[in-house]
Amino acid sequence: MTVQSSSELIERSLVRGMMPRTKPGRSYNYVLRGVALLFTAVLALFVWSVLHQSWPAWSTYGLHIITGNNWAPAANDFGALPLILATVLTAGVALLFAVPIGIGTALTLNFLVPRRLAGPLTTTVELLAAVPSVVYGLWGLNVIVPWMSTTAQPWLASITNGGWPFSGNAIGLGIATASVVLAVMVLPTIVAISRDVIGTVPRDLVEGALSLGATRSQVLTRVVIPNAKVGLLGAVSLGAGRALGETIAVAMVIGSSPSMPHSLFSLGSTLASTIATQYTDAPQMHMAALGALAVILMVMTASVNALARALVNRGTKGAS
Amino acid sequence: MTDLLAQLPQDPMLERRRLVQATAAKTQRSRATRSSLFTTLISACLALAVVPLFLVIAALIVRGGKVITWTFLTQAPLQPTIFDQETIGGVGNAILGSLVVDGVAALVAVPVGIVLGLYLAETESRWANALRSVTEIMTGLPSILLGIFAFIYVVTNMHTYSGLAASVALAMLMTPVITKAAETALRAVPRTLTEAGLALGARQSKVSLKVVLPVAAPGIITGVLLALARAIGETAPLLFVIGASIRYDWNPLHAMSALPLMTYQYSSAAYDSQHTAAWGVGLILVIIVLLLNISARLISAYMRRERH
């Protein structure tokens, strides 16, 4: 063993520490790429697994699964049209409430509320998104359902004299109630994204309009909203994606009856809630049909989400 | 003087301005009323949006607050009978189950999410862009689909329901959330820091791990906490994979239970005592989730203050 001089030691350690012995950061890059590849593989596996499981249903029933209007697992009849309609209907009615309220809230938070209050109020609205959906289901089942059956539904029925779309028994459970619960659940999403989008409307435009003597409402409806249009549409689509895929809360209040919805008071069952309530212990073909529902749901939510992302990105980029 | 001015030829711009001013003055009252009506309307929207949170929390405290006792938090559930409807035991096993299931999920999702975030923040390629879009879309997919995934791969292969299967589904749920947060936080780190590190002769890997990652840490921690909060509250992915056991069990290879699942089951159970228990479990769940959310917010507020 030769005794090394200290300067030699320092030199060697410096060289070892500083000079790349191999190509710079090769193993590091391998790790990054490897994990990315692995994750992509798992995602592909995920999509494939759902497709694969649903395959027997598609090959046996074909498009009857989408167009058939009778979902009767006991009779081996799997037509998901009532489920698709209930899904779209609940999401649509929920948006009918949530979009105006959400955009109004976003406008208020951005333009009317003093800055010191805006922070806590925004947090409060955003915490709505944090509440687990099972808690909304519990609340819907025990608070909204009784309120609907004793107060809201009789009142609505009296408006149309028991005619469409408020016909049927006011039992509380059903599509209308699911929509109300969904509206509360998608509200924070719409508020959060709308606020971001509205925040990118150039300050000069707003101030220019104000200096010309426009009133607040004129500025908001004629300058801010038209400028944020694309992004707001994205916010709405993101809310729609959430409403279409919501499972537990809807399953708890919609009444789980896979029949064709003929009014807002009728019981129903959405794609997601049907999977949730029937998947356990389903026999072979039934499970394949539920897999087919999962495929329909995946295609629906993924395309709505992709559209939403594109709109939001364009909305926030185009304006700034 | 005024006579002189009157003799000048009329300026069309001035004429136009006079017209605008006259119209503005004439419509001022109606525009002001309309404006105050509109602002009242959208302020009412804000009030409507804030109310549900308080309604939900008030309902949870009023209906579920009284069932939370030490026994409730620590014991395993008991099946009440028609003669003894008040004996429901506790939800200790579900608290333990939630801890184990979410812990195992985080063990996988946190490192994978951070590494993916590093990859997306440092790579500019079509491939990375595609992966970014896919992870963003993933965050919006219904979580029940992940339950199906876990059922097909874990439950059918292990021939048993297990906490592990639930962890797999929840890890899939958490990863994109963490990735997104990590990428955003990493991209926000000033470019000059990276360049200074590289100029000193350090490798890209060293700069990323020793310089960029620590600076981005608060943002990443915020993302992890939010992902955890979301995973803890999820019921749908657990429904047909976790097995809803009523026994105490540490081992994630066995059937377990979890807080949100307990709320779901108790809400449609047979006895009133169980319905009250559902509110109690919901209250515990909301407290955990809100605590996680608020600490995430505090961290990101702290981070923002540091930067300015």
Task: Identify the CATH number of the domain in which residue A147 sits.
Answer: 1.10.3720.10
How many residue pairs bridge chain A and chain B with CB atoms within 8 Å of each other? 249
Q: How far apart are CA A32 and CA A14, in angstroms?
A: 27
- The verdict on A124 touching B (C-beta cutoff 8 Å) is yes
Chain A residues near residue B234 by CB distance under 8 angstroms: 132-133
Nearest chain A residue to B28, by CA: A215
Q: How far apart are CA A268 and CA A20, in angstroms?
A: 65
- Report whether the peptide linkage leading into residue A114 is cis, meaning its omega lies within 30 degrees of zero: no
CA distance B289 to chain A (A): 7
User: For residue A210, which of B35, B121, B174, B284 has the smallest C-alpha distance?
Assistant: B35
Q: Do B136 and A131 make contact, defined as CB atoms within 8 angstroms? A: no
Q: Do A131 and B263 make contact, defined as CB atoms within 8 angstroms? A: no
Residue A189 near residue A197, CB atoms below 8 Å: no
Residue B234 near residue B155, CB atoms below 8 Å: no
Q: How far apart are CA A257 and CA A277, in angstroms?
A: 11
Residue B179 near residue A75, CB atoms below 8 Å: no
Q: How far apart are CA A313 and CA A303, in angstroms?
A: 15
- The verdict on A24 touching B (C-beta cutoff 8 Å) is yes
> Which of A105, A137, A301 has the CB atom closest to B142's CB atom?
A301
What is the span of the domain harbouring residue A254?
85-277+301-319
Chain B interface mutation, best of A133, A189, A194, A248, highest count of B Cβ atoms under 10 Å: A248
Q: How far apart are CA A87 and CA A294, in angstroms?
A: 13
- The answer to whether residue A36 is domain-embedded is no
Q: Write out A105-159 in H/E/C secondary structure.
A: HHHHHHHHCCHHHHHHHHHHHHHHHHCCHHHHHHHHHHHHHHHHHHHHHHHHHHH
Nearest chain B residue to A282, by CA: B240
Chain A residues near residue B109 by CB distance under 8 angstroms: none
Residue A268 near residue A259, CB atoms below 8 Å: yes
CA distance A147 to chain B (A): 13
Residue A133 near residue A182, CB atoms below 8 Å: no
Residue B179 near residue A42, CB atoms below 8 Å: no
Neighbours of A221 (CB within 10 A): 16
Tens of pLDDT along chain A (320 residues) come to: 444 455 555 455 555 544 444 455 578 888 889 999 999 999 999 999 999 999 999 999 989 999 988 999 888 889 999 999 999 999 999 999 999 999 999 999 999 999 899 888 988 888 998 999 999 999 999 999 999 999 888 888 888 877 778 877 878 899 999 999 999 999 999 999 999 999 999 999 999 999 888 899 999 999 999 999 999 999 999 999 999 999 999 999 998 888 888 888 889 999 999 999 999 878 889 999 999 999 999 999 999 999 999 999 888 875 44
- The answer to whether residue A60 is domain-embedded is no
- The answer to whether residue A58 is domain-embedded is no
> Which of A25, A35, A123 has the CB atom closest to B112's CB atom?
A35
Chain A residues near residue B34 by CB distance under 8 angstroms: 215, 217
Q: Do B39 and A238 make contact, defined as CB atoms within 8 angstroms? A: no
Q: Do A279 and B263 make contact, defined as CB atoms within 8 angstroms? A: no
Q: Do A215 and B144 make contact, defined as CB atoms within 8 angstroms? A: no
Chain A residues near residue B278 by CB distance under 8 angstroms: 138
CA distance B83 to chain A (A): 25
Chain A residues near residue B275 by CB distance under 8 angstroms: 142
- The answer to whether residue A167 is domain-embedded is yes
Q: Do B49 and A101 make contact, defined as CB atoms within 8 angstroms? A: yes
- The answer to whether residue A176 is domain-embedded is yes
Q: Do B140 and A18 make contact, defined as CB atoms within 8 angstroms? A: no
User: For residue A132, which of B170, B304, B287 has the smallest C-alpha distance?
Assistant: B287
- The answer to whether residue A197 is domain-embedded is yes
Q: Do B149 and A238 make contact, defined as CB atoms within 8 angstroms? A: no
pLDDT of amino acid A49: 92
Report CA-CA distances (Å) from A76 to A6, A79, A287, B255. 84, 10, 11, 31
Residue A69 near residue A156, CB atoms below 8 Å: no
Q: Give pLDDT tens digits for B63-89.
A: 999 889 888 888 888 888 888 887 888
- The answer to whether residue A264 is domain-embedded is yes
Average pLDDT, chain B: 90
DSSP state of B73: H
Which ipTM was obtained for this model? 0.89
Nearest chain B residue to A143, by CA: B59
CA distance B298 to chain A (A): 11
Chain A residues near residue B290 by CB distance under 8 angstroms: 127, 130
- The answer to whether residue A263 is domain-embedded is yes
Q: Give pLDDT tens digits for B12-62.
A: 888 888 888 888 888 888 999 999 999 999 999 999 999 999 999 999 999
Domain count, chain A: 1
Report CA-CA distances (Å) from A107 to A116, A198, A204, A216, A231. 16, 8, 17, 11, 14
> Which of A52, A109, A252 has the CB atom closest to B46's CB atom?
A109
